[in-house]
């Protein structure tokens, strides 16, 4: 019987949690430690079902709207941000609010207010219905229009000054095409001082592209409502390599691995790193593997926690 060589598992780096996700999850964990449950969280704190279930088990209660939160209770805004209308509702209900909005999303909100104050029509590039997009649109609902594609840009009818912003978790290459189309339509277009697509999204996309080009199959660990995870799968597939999004190792179909000698593996920025370890073990159970890490960038960014949850020691 001929022995097959070990299957290569190419780990993309960076992968899994980014600084914004770590901050958001830690805010809820510290609140649960300090105050006990229930701690109410509007929407999923981050888009990952395993994170949500883990926090639920400790006493977090996830709600769709603040109307579900008892008057005066502790509530957390998710990492994706909220509109001014949601903040106003929280004040009306006398909620003790902890804001877990990613600082990079907060930056986009600040830009939206600044662009609106100078009288611009703001074109927001993003995915309709995404929580981050809903929150950003709420900063200037009368002056903002949403586009997703180049065709959407071609259909715009805008007079006067125009600026643009983007959702933080978009595909870098596709977004660049939309921005180019905006510049063609509106030569005086103004944008943010620095890219709105966040460093973590960009780094993970660069890493997964590099790994996909060396792999026969790509697996990205993440939930289906995680925009950055879905974009990673799409990007890997555009290299010509079959790519799948899995919430965890249980979703791997062994048929995907037939004839595969190299598996690229990464995780979206809201997926816990231990889920990647479990996928590696699942692959190991199917035969010998050789693990290698392919690093596209080193991340050292950390965001400060709100004062209300900081503790000495």
Residue 226 marked as a ligand binder:
yes
Asked whether the domain spanning 104-185 has the same topology as the one spanning 7-17+199-295, the reply is yes
Q: What is the pLDDT of residue 3?
A: 58
Residue 227 marked as a ligand binder:
yes
CA 21 to the chain's CA centroid: 8
Residue 270 marked as a ligand binder:
yes
Q: What is the pLDDT of residue 1?
A: 40
CB contact at 8 A, 239 and 212? yes
The residue among 88, 102, 96, 86 whose CA lies nearest residue 40 is 96
Q: What is the pLDDT of residue 194?
A: 83
Residue at token pair 């503790």: 311
CATH topology of domain 7-17+199-295: Cobalt-precorrin-4 Transmethylase; domain 1 (3.40.1010)
Dmax over Cα atoms in the chain, in whole Å? 74
pLDDT tens sequence across 145-176: 999 999 999 999 999 999 999 999 999 999 99
Residues of the chain below pLDDT 70: 1-3, 312-313
CA distance 199 to 207: 12
Residue 183 marked as a ligand binder:
no
CATH number of 19-101: 3.40.50.11270
The CATH number, out of the four listed (3.30.70.3170, 3.40.50.300, 3.40.1010.20, 3.40.50.10440), of the domain defined by the range 104-185 = 3.40.1010.20
Domain ranges for the chain, please list them. 7-17+199-295, 19-101, 104-185
Return the active site residues: 132
């Amino acid at each position: 019987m001929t022995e097959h060589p070990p299957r290569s598992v190419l780990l993309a780096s960076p992968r899994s949690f980014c600084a914004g996700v770590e901050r958001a999850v830690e805010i809820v964990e510290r609140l649960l430690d300090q105050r006990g449950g229930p701690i109410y969280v509007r929407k999923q704190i981050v888009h990952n079902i395993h994170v949500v279930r883990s926090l639920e088990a400790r006493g977090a209660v996830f709600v769709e709207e603040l109307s579900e939160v008892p008057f005066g209770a502790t509530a957390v805004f998710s990492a994706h941000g909220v509109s001014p209308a949601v903040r106003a509702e929280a004040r009306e209900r006398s909620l003790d609010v902890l804001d877990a909005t990613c600082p990079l999303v907060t930056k986009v909100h600040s830009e939206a207010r600044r662009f609106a104050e100078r009288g611009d029509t703001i074109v927001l590039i993003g995915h309709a219905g995404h929580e981050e997009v809903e929150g950003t649109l709420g900063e200037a609902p009368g002056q903002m229009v949403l586009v997703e594609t180049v065709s959407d840009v071609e259909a715009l009818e805008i007079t006067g000054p125009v600026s643009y912003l983007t959702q933080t978790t978009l595909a870098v290459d596709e977004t660049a095409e939309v921005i180019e189309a905006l510049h063609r339509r509106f030569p005086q277009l103004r944008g943010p001082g620095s890219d709105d697509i966040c460093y973590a999204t960009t780094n993970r996309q660069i890493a997964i592209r590099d790994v996909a080009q060396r792999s026969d199959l790509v697996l990205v660990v993440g939930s289906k409502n995680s925009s950055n995870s879905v974009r990673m799968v799409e990007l890997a597939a555009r290299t010509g390599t079959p790519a799948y999004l899995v919430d965890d190792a249980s979703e791997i179909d062994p048929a995907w691995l037939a004839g595969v000698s190299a598996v690229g593996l990464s995780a979206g920025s809201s997926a816990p790193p231990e889920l990647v370890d479990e996928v590696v073990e699942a692959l190991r159970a199917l035969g010998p593997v050789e693990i290698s890490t392919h690093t596209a960038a080193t991340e050292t960014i950390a965001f400060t926690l709100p004062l209300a949850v900081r503790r000495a020691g």
